[in-house]
Structures are given as structure tokens and as C-alpha cells.
């Protein structure tokens, strides 16, 4: 008998392209129970030595998902991107199961809209997200950049010259730029969460959070 949703565990990864394979391998390294599946026998064979559980099966067929116990998984990731039709069929089959939380990869805005419309809980755009992140890094102002769905970002950066030697109260960053300094890492010292009395020096690395457009305006000062 299938387990209840509360008892379900593990991640089902469908599609062993670059995105799906990287996801499955990372999850397994993190200690998560993973079952990976793909229709391509060569891909299945190539990852058989690296993944504990990998099968050749066609997830566009509801019977194949039933056979691997897809409804028993807490999360299912649809990593198929080369065929929008297959991606949509697989997602629809998972929705019909009513079990796992569905993460689906989209290759376009229209594709993502369809996936959401048929019931995917989360839609990701790996290529677009990677492009946006790399653009911010290539721009030379940031050391790392993470953007969330609601136009909110967290970045790692060197502090702008205008706030060197000032406490966060004196710099008044939140009122001036609408962003928040979350923490500060000084060379040779442990990371510390920021407080109003925290003084930022030129050699520090700061973690800053806020709306993406406001982050961009703030990081422009570091140029």
C-alpha cells in the first residue's frame, strides 16, 4: 500500500540530462534517497555506477510511474527539457498521482506557464537563472548572487567605499538604499551577523539582502 504523504520520502528525478544528472548526483551526495529515471539506455548506463537507484523507463506513460512507486516519493523533479510535450505529459501524470511535490524544469516562459497551469508546484528556469547570475558576477561588482522568485536577492560583495569605516547606523544603508546588511566577514575572523554598531571596513566581505533592483543600485556604489 502506498505510504501517506506525511510518510513519503526521497526524490524522484526524471530525465538525466545535464540538469537532472547534476541534481540527482548532488542530492545523493547530500544523503537524500534518489531514484533517477530516463528513457535513454546509454544515459542510464552511464550513471548506474554513480547513482544507487537508476532505471530505464518512460515517465510519459502513467504505468511506468506507477511501477517505480512515484507516489511514494516526497518530491518529483521533471528535468526533461528537450521535449515540451514529454515534459507536460510527465508533469500531468505526476499531478494525477496526487503524491509528490512537483518541481519542473522549463525552457521558456510559455512552457513554464503551461507547467504551472497543469499543477506543477514549482517551476525553474535553469538556463535563464544561470545567465542572470553569471551576468551579475561578470559585471565585476559581486562575489556571489542568489535571486529568488519574488525579485529578492542575497549577494556577497565588497562594501562600497562610501561606507568604509562607518557603523551601519552611521551609513544608514537601509534608509538610503532600501537594502539590509545581514552579516560581515573580516579576514581571519568568524562571520558575524550585523548589528547597528557593526563597523564595515574596506577589506570586509558583506552579505546584503533586498529587492534585486535596489541591490543593483547599492552594488553600483562599489564600482
DSSP character string of 181-207: EEEEE-TTS--EE--TTPEE-TT-EEE
**Domain residues of the chain, as ranges?**
11-127, 134-220
pLDDT score of 131: 59
- At residue 153, the pLDDT reads 84
H or E stretch at 24: helix 18-29
What per-residue confidence (pLDDT) applies to 219? 81
CATH superfamily of 134-220: Regulator of K+ conductance, C-terminal domain (3.30.70.1450)
pLDDT of residue 7: 40
The CATH fold assigned to 11-127 is Rossmann fold (3.40.50)
Adjacency order of strands within the sheet including 34-38: 54-56, 34-38, 11-14, 75-78, 101-105, 122-124
- Those residues of the chain that have pLDDT short of 50 are 1-7
- What is the predicted pLDDT for the residue at 83? 87
Amino acid at each position: 500500500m502506498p505510504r501517506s504523504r506525511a510518510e513519503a520520502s526521497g526524490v524522484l528525478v526524471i530525465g538525466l540530462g545535464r540538469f537532472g544528472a547534476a541534481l540527482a548526483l548532488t542530492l545523493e551526495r547530500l544523503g537524500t534517497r534518489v531514484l533517477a529515471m530516463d528513457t535513454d539506455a546509454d544515459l542510464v548506463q552511464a550513471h548506474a555506477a554513480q547513482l544507487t537507484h537508476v532505471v530505464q523507463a518512460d515517465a510519459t506513460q502513467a504505468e511506468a510511474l506507477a511501477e517505480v512507486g512515484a507516489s511514494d516519493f516526497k518530491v518529483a523533479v521533471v528535468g526533461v527539457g528537450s521535449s515540451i510535450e514529454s515534459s507536460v505529459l510527465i508533469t500531468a501524470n505526476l499531478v494525477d498521482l496526487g503524491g509528490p511535490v512537483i518541481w519542473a524544469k522549463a525552457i521558456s516562459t510559455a512552457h513554464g506557464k503551461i507547467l504551472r497551469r497543469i499543477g506543477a508546484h514549482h517551476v525553474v528556469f535553469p538556463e535563464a537563472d544561470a545567465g542572470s547570475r553569471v551576468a551579475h558576477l561578470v559585471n565585476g561588482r559581486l562575489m556571489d548572487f542568489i535571486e529568488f522568485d519574488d525579485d529578492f536577492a542575497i549577494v556577497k560583495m565588497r562594501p562600497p567605499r562610501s561606507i568604509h569605516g562607518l557603523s551601519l547606523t552611521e551609513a544608514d544603508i537601509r534608509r538610503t538604499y532600501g537594502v539590509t546588511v545581514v552579516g560581515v566577514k573580516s579576514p581571519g575572523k568568524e562571520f558575524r551577523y550585523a548589528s547597528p554598531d557593526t563597523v564595515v571596513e574596506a577589506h570586509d566581505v558583506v552579505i546584503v539582502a533586498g529587492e534585486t533592483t535596489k541591490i543593483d543600485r547599492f552594488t553600483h556604489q562599489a564600482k
